[in-house]
């Protein structure tokens, strides 16, 4: 089995989508190995999204990600990384509503920024992101 990292972003929590999202996760055959609600500060949000630090949307992204608590999770199933990305749908929730209407971002997201969930984009990212939040999974 494979692990991936999932996050319900501030708009997902404040919009009360947590139960709907967790149901979709469990119905798709994932096991939720760990979960934790955290409030990100600017430093932590910036480090998590360090790969985007030079992008024009970075300051807005940090502001969004620190606007309220997030729920971080470790999910496990066969092919977890790709299957979780498929379940959440495209980055832009507006487009997701048209092209992937049953995706989580279509159901719970608002636009290109406020897209309610995150998912690791590769097994390498999954490892980094899981150990970023869950000490027990860090090898170092």
Is residue 18 near ligand ATP by the rule CB under 6 A? no
Flag whether 57 is marked binding: yes
In the region spanning residues 19 to 38, those forming contacts with ligand ATP, defined by CB under 6 A, are none
Query: 118 near 126, Cβ under 8 Å?
Result: no
Collapsing DSSP to helix, strand or coil, 75 comes out as strand
Shortest spacing between CB 108 and ligand ATP, in angstroms = 13
Of 94 and 140, nearer to ligand ATP (C-beta) is 94
In the region spanning residues 56 to 115, those forming contacts with ligand ATP, defined by CB under 6 A, are 57, 60-61, 91, 112-113, 115
- Just list the catalytic residues: 118
Query: 121 near 103, Cβ under 8 Å?
Result: no
Of 110 and 135, nearer to ligand ATP (C-beta) is 110
Residues 6+ apart with CB under 8 A from 96: 89, 90, 103, 105, 106, 109, 115
Of 56 and 140, nearer to ligand ATP (C-beta) is 56
Cα angle 107, 27, 31; round to 5: 115
Collapsing DSSP to helix, strand or coil, 45 comes out as helix
- Site residues for ligand ATP per CB under 6 A: 52, 57, 60-61, 91, 112-113, 115, 118-119, 121
């Amino acid at each position: 089995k494979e692990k991936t990292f999932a996050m319900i972003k501030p708009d997902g929590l404040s919009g009360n989508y947590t139960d709907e999202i967790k149901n979709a996760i469990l119905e798709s055959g994932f096991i939720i190995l760990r979960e934790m609600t955290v409030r990100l500060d600017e430093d932590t949000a910036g480090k998590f999204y360090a790969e985007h630090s030079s992008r024009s949307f970075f300051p807005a992204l940090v502001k969004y990600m620190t606007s309220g608590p997030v729920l971080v999770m470790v999910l496990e199933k066969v092919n977890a990384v790709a299957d979780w990305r498929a379940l959440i749908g495209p980055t832009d929730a507006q487009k997701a509503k048209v092209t992937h209407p049953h995706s989580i971002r279509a159901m719970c997201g608002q636009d290109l920024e406020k897209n309610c969930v995150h998912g690791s984009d590769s097994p390498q990212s999954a490892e980094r992101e899981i150990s970023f939040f869950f000490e027990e999974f860090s090898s170092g």
